[in-house]
Amino acid sequence: MRSLLFVPGDQERKITKALDGDADVVILDLEDSVAPECKQAARALTAEVLSSAQSGPKRYVRVNPLSSGLTAQDLDHVLPAGPDGILQPKTETGDDVISLKNMMKAPLPIIAIATETASAMFGLGNYARAAPDLIAMTWGAEDLSNELGAATSRDEAGHLTDPYRLARSLCLAGARAADVEPVDTVFVDFRDHDGLHNECISAARDGFTAKLAIHPDQVAVINDVFTPSVDALAEANRLIEAFAAAGNPGVIKLDGKMFDIPHLKRAKKLISRAGAIAG
């Protein structure tokens, strides 16, 4: 899973386009991109789309948050149609994920958007309890900035300001602590491909393994950056071989640098992630 493309659940033309594209996951949205008076139409269209047999991207549904009182109705409509997973917005602790799971008759993979309220910022360390249903965590700046009373989440140069860098970092650490995939948030300026590319590079460097998208033109950039490169895989294999050739000690030198167990683990992880993407 590298790219997860949002599409409003009541917009058939976009849904068709999203499902025909190269995103690893298409998220049929019933929440913030759907006006209140269109929720019912979005549920109906989403269920219809899910029911028709599909190859291609995995199909997740973003339900409305537990606090909305709409989640049960969302689930009643879409679960019989067989989504591949659920995206849960505005979670505040791992317990919210467990509550959602308990509302579903059969378990499905859940991805939590875990930084959208002020309280959520204090609950990011406890998502391990939602295993094994929780498979990934992501973060959002739009709702959080609204809650914090901010004018915007980015400065004049387009860089995230401190509260949102904190949310991003805590999401990354929280996801790793819960042993699930960390997924970077949306880049809303969808015509700015260089900006998106830079943000993907920075997210991948920090440890995120995927990114949310809002426009089909963003998918190729995201897939490219989050697919381990041939060079990176060759380097990882070279390191593993060098450890093996030395009899797998705790530490080796290679090209005049020191490498020890964390480096070996990182190399093995990269190769297993590349295998998971290819397979």
In this structure, are residues 84 and 109 in contact, taking their beta carbons and an 8 Å threshold? yes
Residues binding ligand COA: what is the number (CB under 6 A)? 15
Which residue, 21 or 182, is less far from ligand COA as judged by CB? 21
Which residue, 18 or 264, is less far from ligand COA as judged by CB? 18
Q: 11: how many CB neighbours lie within 10 A of its CB?
A: 18
Q: Which of 74, 92, 143, 199 binds Mg ion (CB under 5 A)?
A: 143
Buried b / exposed e across 67-100, counting CB within 10 Å, b at 16+?
eeebbebbbebbbebebebbbbbbbbbbebbeeb
Q: Which of 7, 42, 134, 236 binds ligand COA (CB under 6 A)?
A: 7
Place of tokens 């295993």: 131
| Phi, psi dihedral angles at 168 (to 5 degrees) | -60, -45
Measured between alpha carbons, how far is 157 from 196 in angstroms, rounded to an integer?
14
Strands 85-88 and 25-29: unpaired
When CB distances are held under 5 to 8 angstroms depending on the partner's kind, the choice from Mg ion, ligand COA, none that residue 205 binds is none
When CB distances are held under 5 to 8 angstroms depending on the partner's kind, the choice from ligand COA, Mg ion, none that residue 13 binds is ligand COA
**Residue, CB closest to ligand COA:** 6
Tell me if 94 contacts ligand COA by CB under 6 A.
Answer: no
Burial grade of 35 (CB within 10 A; 0-12, 13-18, 19 or more): exposed
Q: What is the DSSP letter of 154?
A: B
Per-residue contact flags (x/-) with ligand COA for residues 203 to 242, judged by CB under 6 A: -----------xxx--------------------------
Measured between alpha carbons, how far is 202 from 72 in angstroms, rounded to an integer?
37
Q: What's the residue count for the chain?
A: 279
When CB distances are held under 5 to 8 angstroms depending on the partner's kind, the choice from ligand COA, Mg ion, none that residue 143 binds is Mg ion
Strands 85-88 and 58-62: parallel
3-state class (DSSP) for residue 187:
coil
**How far apart are CB 67 and Mg ion at their closest, in Å?**
12
Tell me if 133 contacts Mg ion by CB under 5 A.
Answer: no
Q: Which of 17, 22, 32, 202 binds Mg ion (CB under 5 A)?
A: 32
Tell me if 28 contacts ligand COA by CB under 6 A.
Answer: no
When CB distances are held under 5 to 8 angstroms depending on the partner's kind, the choice from Mg ion, ligand COA, none that residue 226 binds is none
The stretch among 50-58, 118-126, 139-147, 257-265 that binds Mg ion (CB under 5 A) is 139-147
Which residues lie near Mg ion (CB under 5 A)? 32, 143
Q: Which residues bind ligand COA (CB under 6 A)?
A: 5-8, 13-14, 17-18, 29, 32-33, 186, 214-216
